[in-house]
A and B are shown apart, each in its own frame.
Chain A
Amino acid sequence: MSPRRGTLAFLYALPFVLLFAALLVGRYGGGPGDVLRALFSADGDGILRSVVLRVRLPRAIAALLVGANLAVAGAVLQGLFRNPLVDSRIHGVRSGAAFGAALAILVSGGALAVQTSAFAFALLAVVLVLCVGWRLGAAPLVLILIGIAVSALFDSSLGLVKYVADPLSKLPSITYWLLGGLGGASWSNLVPLLVLSPLGLGFLFLIRWRLNVLTLGDDEATSLGVRVRPLRAGAIAAAALLVAASVAQAGTIGWIGLVIPHVARSWAGPDHTRLVPASAALGGAVLVALDTTARTALASEIPLGILTGLLGVPAFLFLLGGYVRQKEGIR
């Protein structure tokens, strides 16, 4: 089960390699040589330089961060709940963010208002789940059930918003936003993601060994001197922060939080000291690759949520097959 050094080194380098490659590729045309010339020499194509620095770069960075955030949040939540089927959906984060964004679009808020509202409602959803859950003992099952209830609350509210939205402008905007995509990423709206991602990722990275202890279950972890409730709440809050910031930027994107941790676990093992960085690297790499495809393959953008689904579903089934075979092998 112990991963080889080489595999991990490759994995950690992958997102940065893909990030660089993403800068060289795009609809505007010109090969890598043109891009390098545009960036570094005085007589390069000015518009190409602008495209690379103002369009491709912020977008690729956004993809990297969103992929890493969603993957790490998924990995942490799966460990906390000792359940390989968990992802951020259970906490109502995505439903809250979707509702917040739709509401902002409905009242004609600008892009900044949409992002802020999505983020605020995502956090509200998590706060609701944690507060109610804390009163009831914050046991994993209780948190999941409350999360389902909160998700349902925001989902129906979203339905109401869609019902009253003007079908010419507001409703298409809402639908478009919900499909997920990084088309609107630019330096001006990237700041929240750039600030919040290191905070959330950093915290989870620092406590990653302690998360191992939490996988033992509450009683055992307590007997080892760990304060379980605050640690779990803190980890959930950090994961929620990452997901909220990501959804506010990129809309609702599925499968990354669910599938990437499983793949990372099969390479790096269940020990969070390796799993957390491996999930971040793999999630970032995959999303950069998918987003580059989304914006380059056709003249019109392929919604990111569709690409992650196309990749995620077969990957999930493949992993499921391996998991079942492995289980039977042990017996």
Chain B
Amino acid sequence: MKTVLIIDDNPVITNIYRGKLSAGGLHTEIASNGEEGLEMVDRCKPDVVLLDLMLPKVNGMDVLKRIRARAEYKTLPVVVFSNSYSTDVMQQAWGFGATEVLHKSSTTPQNVVLALVRAIANSTVASTPAETQRVAAEAPSSPENQMATLLQRLATGEVAAASADFVRLVRAGVPNDLFPEPVVKLFAALEVLVAAADQMTEGPERDLFHDSIRAVSRVTRTLASRRSAVEDTANSPQSQQR
């Protein structure tokens, strides 16, 4: 049975995820502060870590850095699950090697479980972005797999193909909460941008156009940082050896 280590000091959150993961056939271990979390990574040898950022004793960002500093845990999937509203904090998490970054208020428990299962599956069968993409392409095309493909295309700059994936998923009636927030914001902003450009004259339309450009710029910076994280992983000496 695969083991998930949850590092979170909030008993309500850990209670919910212990139940959800158990129902999904996963064993759960819980650490209620960063120091205990680091000890348990060594002791329990988890298959994936679900990590909060605001933690007593050692904060989550330091836990992530210390995990990634150890050669044996370079590829251990770490899903950051934060309540932070700062884009900088989320980008930092990507930069320090998070496998996935989820926002507590905009992610349903079901999607957290899916992200954990996906992280375990990817770490088991694929260790480079190219292999991850191949596995996603070969797997049955569930909405989750299609979403993984869409994100991979965005991360590698295949915007046109990602747009087509997005339209297909929306038409297939995939629930909105399956789309990561940056993707939804990006495509919503692009839609407004195109509509505004078509009708642009002097006045409010031009303001809307400029607001939309700023929104797209913010979201693409987030996605660019994600792309850098993917490229860093691909270019790391460990990946090169594989």
Answer whether A and B are interacting partners: no
Residues of chain A touching chain B, judged by Cβ–Cβ distance below 8 Å, are: none
